[in-house]
Amino acid sequence: MGPVNWLAVVLAAALAVIVGIVWNTVLFPDRRQIARGDAERASGHVTMTVVFLISAAMLGHALARIGSETLAMKPWLYFMQSGGLAIAFVMPAVWLTHARSRTEPMRRVIDCAFWLVAYLAMGLVFWLLG
DSSP letter string, 62-112: HHHHH-HHHHHH-THHHHHHHHHHIIIIIHHHHHHHHHHTT--HHHHHHHH
The gap from C-alpha 99 to its chain's centroid, in whole angstroms, comes to 21
Does the pLDDT of residue 37 top 60, yes or no? no
* Nearest CA among 55, 62, 60 for reference residue 13: 55
Whether 93 shows a pLDDT value over 80: the answer reads yes
Q: Where are the domains of the chain?
A: 6-129
What are the tens digits of pLDDT across the range 39-56? 566 677 889 999 999 999
Q: What percent of the chain has pLDDT over 90?
A: 74
Which of 33-42, 66-75, 78-87, 89-98 has the lowest average pLDDT? 33-42
pLDDT of residue 31: 60
What is the reported pTM? 0.88
